[in-house]
Structure 1
Amino acid sequence: MIDFKKNDGLIPVVIQDNYTLEVLMLGYMNEEAWNKTKEEKLVTFFSRSKNRLWTKGEESGNVLKVVSTHIDCDQDTILIKVKPAGPTCHTGSRSCFQTKFNQNFLFYLEQIVKNRYKNPTEDSYVNKLRKKGINKIAQKVGEEATETVIAALNETEKDFINESSDLLFHLIVLLQEKNISLKKIAKNLESRHK
């Protein structure tokens, strides 16, 4: 139960991309905005400057679709994981926090690969690789792993970064082929860390 009696009835709300886990913005909700958000599954804030409810994206179309909500231990802050329909910031950036890059791009890349599987196009490398089957996909992971080791031992840092990137990309394709998410891998790694 959220304690809307604190802070004059306005509760801070952290908005996080459900797939990349990147923090996208901070806003405020009163109880009415919270109820509307839960009902419509679109994030609605209480705009302090407009002094009214404001559904994010009501003008731009860049709405924030609610995936899950989480209330902190003091019941006075909300975390909402969302699927953004475009840039979140009014400046056109993906996040209101001007980080130089998406710190969790691997999760975003996983979604791109997943989309290539669902909506294949002829010019997509993922689609071409997928048509060759799991044996070829697994072989590519092995090739890229070998090239990464060679680069680590004998080549420049840039070469090593490029080969490591190729390895991770092909591993994500193999995981998609096997219908295993990065989240499952992360959970497995976490369970081993004791």
Structure 2
Amino acid sequence: MEELAIDFEKGEGLVPAIIQDVDTKKVLMLGYMNEEALAKSTESGKVTFFSRTKDRLWTKGETSGNFLTIHDIQVDCDKDTLLIYVKPTGPVCHKGDDTCFADTNRSKTYFIDRLREIIKDRKNNPSDTSYTASLFNKGINKVAQKVGEEAVEIVIEAKDDNKELFMGEAADLLFHYLVLLEAKGYELDEVMDVLVQRHRK
């Protein structure tokens, strides 16, 4: 990871570090880091804090095995707070909860936004090896046709009890639906707006 410009002097050598799940965007916990803790974190790839009560460094998971593997680190505009995206291994809180705020951390729906970014990139920067780019290249009629085909296939699988096949078709339908939205130049957020308005009625 590249060197981060952090103002440790504001907090007398410590800065708060907000820990967030990279997949769900759920805030998991808050800790503090000094320069040494940050250096060890970036070197090891595991979140290491400075314990104000024990007056020493401690790597999250060093006793429980529930490590926080670093995906990315960002610095706020004042250079005195860290936002660390992680992949947690097991519960984060010492009480056994998913987060230190007693929240559950199960949803993976944030990945839809990442998938939307990938689909948009395939449209704007097509390659000969990309299936998604090939759909855009075939035009809106082909994209719409694929959504129809996948919709029929999930209906067929819904009548059986094979979860694996049903989930595969569900994933195919969702993917091609997102491709169709991008082909039309519409955003999923606009669909969400319609749902929100309906919910308010």
Q: Which residue of 2 aligns with 1:64?
A: 68
Q: Which residue of 1 aligns with 2:44?
A: 40
SS at match of 1:81: strand
Aligned equivalents of 1:93 and 1:176: distance in 2? 31
Aligned equivalents of 2:150 and 2:191: distance in 1? 27
CA drift of 1:50 comes to 1.1
2:109 corresponds to 1:107: yes
2:178 corresponds to 1:174: no
Q: Which residue of 1 aligns with 2:78?
A: 74
2:136 corresponds to 1:138: no
Q: Which of the numbers 23, 29, 39 marks the counterpart of 2:27?
A: 23
Give the structure with higher Rg (CA): 2
CA drift of 1:60 comes to 0.5
Give TM-score, length-normalised by structure 2: 0.58
1:106-133: CA deviation from partner (whole Å, max 9, x where unpaired): 43898xxxxxxxxxxxxxxxxxxxxxxx
CA drift of 1:26 comes to 0.1
SS at match of 2:16: strand
CA drift of 1:89 comes to 0.4
Q: Which residue of 1 aligns with 2:18?
A: 14
Aligned equivalents of 2:188 and 2:149: distance in 1? 26
SS at match of 2:11: helix
Q: Which amino acid aligns with 1:26?
A: L
CA drift of 1:135 comes to 8.6
Note the residue ranges of structure 1 that are not aligned, 5 or more in a row: 111-133, 145-168
Aligned equivalents of 1:74 and 1:92: distance in 2? 34
Q: Judge conservation of contact 2:38–2:48 (CA < 8 Å) in 1.
A: yes
Aligned equivalents of 1:192 and 1:107: distance in 2? 15
Q: Judge conservation of contact 2:61–2:68 (CA < 8 Å) in 1.
A: yes
Q: Judge conservation of contact 2:41–2:48 (CA < 8 Å) in 1.
A: yes
Q: Evaluate the alpha carbon distance shift between residue 87 and residue 176 of structure 1 in structure 2; reply closer, same or farther with a 3 A threshold.
A: farther
2:87 corresponds to 1:83: yes
Aligned equivalents of 2:29 and 2:97: distance in 1? 11
Percent of pairs identical after alignment? Answer: 47
Aligned equivalents of 2:61 and 2:22: distance in 1? 18
